[in-house]
């Protein structure tokens, strides 16, 4: 009987030793968990893998992203009529994930200069978000942040001062130019929200010397797309493009309004072009 009791006691002690050993190994392996717990998951793109699958290089990659803020501001500098206007664009990380990437959402920051009416800011904001060829929404939030950090958070590539030549697609969506030849620079802003395929719609903002600010000119292009200037740079080309044809108008500006002086139709099956 005594030997049986002794055996049971030894077995119990052995089980305690095994349990302690297991608990000790768990606490050691969880040291990595404790270190990772210090990382704020709200500012990390993607999920942190389980400790077993973590490599030192992978951990370093996530740690390197901790300095990236969830919001930051990019300045679009405009110099118009000897005045400087800074459009401040607030960029933020969206909560929606597409293929594991946090995409960037944009909005005009409050307190921006009142030289432009609210409609202009809304147009700029919407166009930036829909501009697929720009950096914004072209990659992850971290890629976008890195891009603007390298540019010191100033974006000059949005703005152009050249006349958009018809058939030349190389231009930016904010154009500073004297449209009506009154000696003051005006603004053309690409309105992607209202555009269709092959039909780029623009909003025209005329500078008012009297009010010292820009005034929106509705229906300036008469609900037609704006394709740029002709080769001479004197006439504006507008029109509407369909799948099989494109109806074009050559215009000049008379008393602040477009006046059509010629029109032409281009067909998809033909290699003949207007002007």
pLDDT of 41 strictly over 60? no
When the pLDDT of each residue in the chain is averaged and rounded to a whole number, the result is 77
Residue ranges per structural domain of the chain: 34-65, 71-267
Average pLDDT over residues 244-268: 94
Q: How many CA atoms lie within 13 A of 244 on its CB side?
A: 0
Q: Which residues of 68-96 are buried (b: 16+ CB within 10 A; e: fewer)?
A: beeebebbbebebbeeebebebbbebeee
pLDDT band at 115 (very low <50, low <70, confident <90, very high): confident
SS3 128: helix
Q: What is the pLDDT of residue 34?
A: 29
Average pLDDT over residues 186-215: 93
pLDDT of 11 strictly over 60? no
Backbone angles phi, psi at 254, to 5 degrees: -125, 120
Q: What is the pLDDT of residue 133?
A: 52
Q: What is the pLDDT of residue 45?
A: 36
pLDDT band at 46 (very low <50, low <70, confident <90, very high): very low
């Amino acid at each position: 009987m005594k030997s049986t009791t002794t055996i049971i006691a030894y077995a119990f002690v052995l089980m305690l030793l095994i349990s302690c050993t297991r608990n000790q190994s768990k606490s050691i392996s969880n040291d990595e968990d404790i270190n990772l717990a210090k990382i704020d998951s709200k500012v990390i793109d993607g999920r942190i893998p389980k400790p077993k699958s973590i490599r030192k290089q992978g951990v370093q990659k996530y740690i390197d992203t901790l300095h990236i803020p969830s919001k930051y501001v990019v300045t679009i500098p405009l110099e118009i009529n000897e005045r400087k206007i800074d459009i401040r664009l607030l960029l933020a990380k969206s909560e929606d994930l597409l293929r594991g990437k946090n995409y960037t959402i944009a909005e005009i920051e409050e307190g921006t200069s009142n030289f432009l009416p609210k409609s202009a800011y809304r147009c700029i904001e919407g166009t930036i978000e829909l501009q697929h060829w720009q950096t914004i929404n072209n990659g992850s939030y971290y890629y976008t942040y890195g891009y603007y950090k390298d540019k010191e958070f100033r974006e000059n590539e949005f703005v152009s001062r050249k006349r958009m030549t018809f058939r030349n697609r190389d231009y930016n969506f904010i154009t500073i130019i004297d449209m009506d030849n009154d000696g003051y620079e005006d603004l053309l802003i690409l309105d992607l929200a209202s555009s269709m395929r092959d039909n780029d719609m623009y909003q025209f903002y005329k500078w008012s010397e009297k009010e010292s600010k820009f005034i929106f000119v509705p229906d300036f292009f008469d609900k037609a797309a704006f394709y740029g200037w002709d080769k001479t740079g004197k006439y504006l080309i507008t029109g509407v493009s369909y799948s099989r044809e494109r109806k074009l108008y050559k215009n000049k500006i008379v008393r602040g309004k477009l006046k059509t002086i010629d029109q032409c139709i281009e067909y998809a099956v033909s290699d003949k072009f207007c002007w």
